[in-house]
Structure 1
Amino acid sequence: MIRKASVMYVNKGSYEEYKRRHDELWPEMNAALKEHGAHNYSIFLNEQTGELFAYLEIEDEEKWEQMSGTDVCRRWWAYMADIMETNDDHSPVSVELKDMFYLP
């Protein structure tokens, strides 16, 4: 497994809505994530800053990169764009974090 972590940003005042939308994750989005090799996907919120810390494990980088080209992913990004910092294509502004330590 390949471990990945990133930081994204949710708008202040939208924390509960962000959680609600993820609690009600579309079944087709869940299926697409798994089809593209995602496992143990977690997102944590720093309530003081609106910073989201995302962690997941993937099977293969190339397979994972294909996820962003799926229709369901594009629809999810559009659905989330009103409550997050996003790029022009509605993908979340995201900073990939460098792996510095791991205790298995």
Structure 2
Amino acid sequence: MKKGSTEKYAFRMMLNPGCADEYQRRHDALWPELHQLLKGAGVEDYSIYFDREHHVLFAVLRRLPQHTMEELQHHPIMRRWWAYMSDIMRTNPDGSPLAEPLDCMFHMD
């Protein structure tokens, strides 16, 4: 499938100060079952960047038109990952990462 047939989605999350190395370590060892879950939900080309000064994680991914990302919050693997990450980042009351969608202000192909 061409990249033009996917939707780009960007969001930000907040990392707790002093947790960058641990965040990196955990993502370097991303669970294979989580990787498969994300791919199965239509997530592609997923990157997360870090603003060290402000402790902000900036994520951007591409998702297929028929993605099922909204269903991920109910999956046991995703809930287990959220619990695993909750000690190093800001979270919502349900344990999900505090994630704020970002609007695209500029794009160039």
Task: Please classify the TM superposition score into its range, dividing by the shorter chain length.
Answer: over 0.9
Conserved 8 A contact 2:45-2:62 = yes
| Aligned twin of 1:39 | 44
Match of 1:63 among 61, 64, 68: 68
**Larger helix share, 1 or 2:** 1
State the TM-score, normalizing by the size of structure 2: 0.91
Deviation of the 1:99 alpha carbon: 2.0
Opposite residue 39 of structure 1, the aligned amino acid is E
Q: Which amino acid aligns with 2:106?
A: F
Matches within 5 A, 1:1-104: 1-60=6-65, 63-104=68-109
Aligned residues: 104
Taking every aligned residue pair, what percent have the same amino acid on both sides?
A: 41
Structure 1 stretches lacking a partner, 5+ long: none
Residue identity opposite 1:52 in structure 2: L
Partner SS state of residue 86, structure 1: coil
CA distance in 1, matches of 2:105, 2:23: 28
Question: Is the 2:43–2:67 Cα contact (8 Å) retained in structure 1?
Answer: no
* CA–CA separation in structure 1 for the residues paired with 2:106 and 2:95: 32
Could you tell me how far apart the structure 1 residues matched to 2:14 and 2:65 are?
A: 25
What amino acid is the match of 2:52?
E
Aligned equivalents of 1:3 and 1:82: distance in 2? Answer: 28
